[in-house]
């Protein structure tokens, strides 16, 4: 069972949070987890894990994002990329269902027409795999055209965070059980 936690205080994200056992060291949450919090986002080239961004010289900035940090104690990074896409889908489906927003998912990115709502990355630590997702709450000063949750109708990031974390935990359990109710074939 994946543990979920919404941290009510503002906290900045600068890339150093994407490190093994961050949820345990910070919040004493042991095991697979998804944690959400709000705060500014500023990732420079030194802490960037996506080398595609490093090669382009792209950095990440947002005055305020809703952040999610996921840790799975499973070492298969491709599988965690699949989980990341599932989580982006859950975010998109929630916004569509609740606000009739029409988002475009392009891989692990979400767009409102041509404005970017999200940043996301998945990587591997010595003992786990991890995902970071950031959704803009405010958009002033972002280096590319961006959309925010409130432009999509979501004025309550905490409630939204709780819903999508709930759904991620439920669907992850459901996926495991889907694998436990079929017989093998020849």
Binding site for a copy of itself (CB under 8 A): 1, 18-21, 24-25, 28, 30-32, 49-52, 55, 73, 75-79, 81-83, 85-86, 89, 93, 96-97, 102, 104-105, 107-108, 121-128, 130, 171, 174-186
Neighbours of 100 (CB within 10 A): 9
What is the smallest separation between the CB atom of 137 and a copy of itself, expressed in angstroms? Answer: 25
What is the smallest separation between the CB atom of 126 and a copy of itself, expressed in angstroms? Answer: 3
Chain-centroid distance of CA 81 in Å reads: 11
Locus of tokens 């999200």: 118
Distance in angstroms (rounded) separating the CA atoms of residues 3 and 8: 16
Q: What tokens appear for 58 in the block?
A: 């792209």
* CB of 91 or CB of 137, closer to a copy of itself: 91
* CB of 50 or CB of 158, closer to a copy of itself: 50
* CB of 2 or CB of 12, closer to a copy of itself: 2
Write out the H or E segment, with its range, that includes residue 168: helix 157-178
């Amino acid at each position: 069972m994946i543990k979920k936690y919404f941290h009510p205080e503002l906290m900045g994200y600068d890339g150093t949070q994407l490190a093994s056992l961050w949820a345990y060291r910070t919040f004493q949450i042991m095991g697979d987890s998804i944690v959400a919090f709000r705060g500014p986002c500023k990732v420079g080239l030194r802490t960037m894990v996506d080398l595609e961004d490093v090669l382009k010289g792209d950095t990440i900035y947002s005055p305020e994002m809703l952040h999610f940090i996921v840790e799975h104690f499973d070492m298969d990074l491709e599988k965690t990329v699949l989980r990341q896409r599932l989580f982006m889908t859950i975010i998109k489906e929630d916004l569509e269902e609740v606000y009739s927003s029409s988002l475009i998912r392009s891989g692990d990115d979400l767009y409102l027409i041509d404005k970017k709502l999200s940043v996301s990355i998945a990587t591997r630590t010595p003992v786990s795999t991890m995902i970071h997702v950031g959704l803009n709450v405010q958009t002033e000063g972002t280096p590319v055209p961006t959309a925010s949750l409130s432009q999509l109708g979501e004025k309550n990031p905490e409630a939204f965070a709780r819903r999508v974390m709930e759904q991620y935990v439920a669907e992850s359990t459901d996926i495991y059980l889907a694998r436990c109710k079929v017989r093998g074939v020849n």
